[in-house]
Amino acid sequence: MKLNGFLIKSALVASLGGLLFGFDTAVISGAEEALENVVFKATYENLANTFHYGFLTNVKFWHGFTTASALIGTILGALLVFKPSDTFGRKKTLIFLGFLYFISAVGSAYSWSWGSFVIFRLIGGLAVGGSSVVGPIYIAEISPAKKRGGLVALMQFNIVSGIFLAYVSNWYIGRMDLGAMEWRWMFGVEAFPAIAFSLLMLGNPLSPRWLLARDRESTATGIMEKLGVADVQGEVNEIKEAMAEDHHLKNEPFFCKKYMIPISLAFTIAAFNQLSGINALLYYTKRIFGMAGANSENALMQGVIVGAVMVVFTMLALLIIDKVGRKKLMLWGSIGYIASLGTVAWAFHTGQGGQLVLWAFIVFLAAHGFGQGAVIWVFISEIFPTSVRAKGQALGSFTHWFMCALIAWSFPIFATESRAGYVFGFYAIMMVLQLVWVILVMPETKGISLEQLQKKFIK
């Protein structure tokens, strides 16, 4: 089917929230060593000396906490955003999240202490967590079933584009010899795309499904006509029928037997996404390649290569996700994960390092962009009914970011040069389990309307 211009423009603008999501996630990779060794070194030492209990006395623990502070915000953002998303609408919530990105970028750049930096990074995390919930929901709700996968995958394409831009920005700023100001510029440049995103979202339509849930049928039908829906009244009737079926369930708790199938699917795919170790690589790119033997400038350049690979393979997945389906992409991606992570684990364990690690990570990122990276937000946005879609997306995002925080916080503690092989070996074993889950449990959702999926999963 042919997509009209208004639909494409609306999906593209909404997916720009993913660009900020990716940039904010990866930007710290260029600055985290400076934050540990120069900027907050004295603070970490003071904190470690203040507490006299186990891991709290570990300087690496406090550095991991600082790096993961944004991720604490993502967990809170994913948990809290479903209420304003349902109350004020997907569009208004995305506009507000854009302003949070702006506040975080400016605040992080001008932070005057360790505490202020952590607070502003946490605010950015709130925006990332919120975007990971609301962005895919919004795009899924304005998209036709046969093109929904590709349009929602625009979110992931922009996430990896944001990661790529963060690496390029860090590399370019690193070549400018800004000295003590370098890390501030790395965080501050995000302010410009953040404010642009909020302004562009003002021209986007409200979600028709959100409008119908609030009995605003005339407004919803007008928007659906602009979006190019072929049979507006037929789709309105199907949406209203689905809403009527679950209307009597609105007072039921989310965690109940009726929703167990989509809940278990969302939790599992989100947990496996992070158990691959993807965000350990994104957050500690420079450090990992440094352990493998690259110097500081080459480590930043290899980060650019990392971002470029993710962009290319996510674009390939976006082009075929509605043809081959979500399950096949996950299958191929899982195999790539296992091969690449197994190679990295062996390389670190035997002291090989160097180019072998770089090439293995290129395969790893290709597997991620082509599989989990392209599928996760599409899949979670599809499997819940309208009445609890925001809560379901919030569950998936919470699981994703909770696991991400654990990985990012613990990585600098456990992944020393002597133990990195064991860490990446653990990730490889987790991906073997993911492959088993994909083969035995994961259903296919391509080409099925959201309302038909509701009938399939809600018993």
* Distance from chain centroid for Cα 332: 20
How far apart, in whole angstroms, are the C-alpha atoms of residue 327 and residue 314? 15
Residue 456 neighbours by CB distance under 10 Å = 14
Q: Which long-range contacts (CB under 8 A, 24 or more apart) does 110-117 make?
A: 110/184, 110/188, 113/43, 114/40, 114/43, 114/66, 117/35, 117/40, 117/66, 117/69
pLDDT reported for residue 299: 61
Domain boundaries, the chain: 5-457
pLDDT reported for residue 322: 87
How far apart, in whole angstroms, are the C-alpha atoms of residue 101 and residue 197? 10
State the pTM of this model: 0.79
pLDDT reported for residue 413: 73
How far apart, in whole angstroms, are the C-alpha atoms of residue 123 and residue 104? 6
CATH topology of domain 5-457: Growth Hormone; Chain: A; (1.20.1250)
Q: Which amino acid is at 287?
A: R
pLDDT reported for residue 248: 55
Q: What is the SS3 assignment for 40-94?
A: CHHHHHHHHHHCCCHHHHCHHHHHHHHHHHHHHHHHHHHHHCHHHHHHHCHHHHH
Give average pLDDT by consecutive 10-residue segment, the chain, 459 residues: 79 92 85 85 89 78 83 86 89 96 96 94 93 88 81 83 88 86 93 95 93 89 88 85 65 78 94 91 73 64 78 87 92 96 90 79 90 88 81 86 83 72 92 97 88 78
pLDDT reported for residue 338: 97
Going by the DSSP 8-state scheme, the letter that residue 38 receives in this structure is I
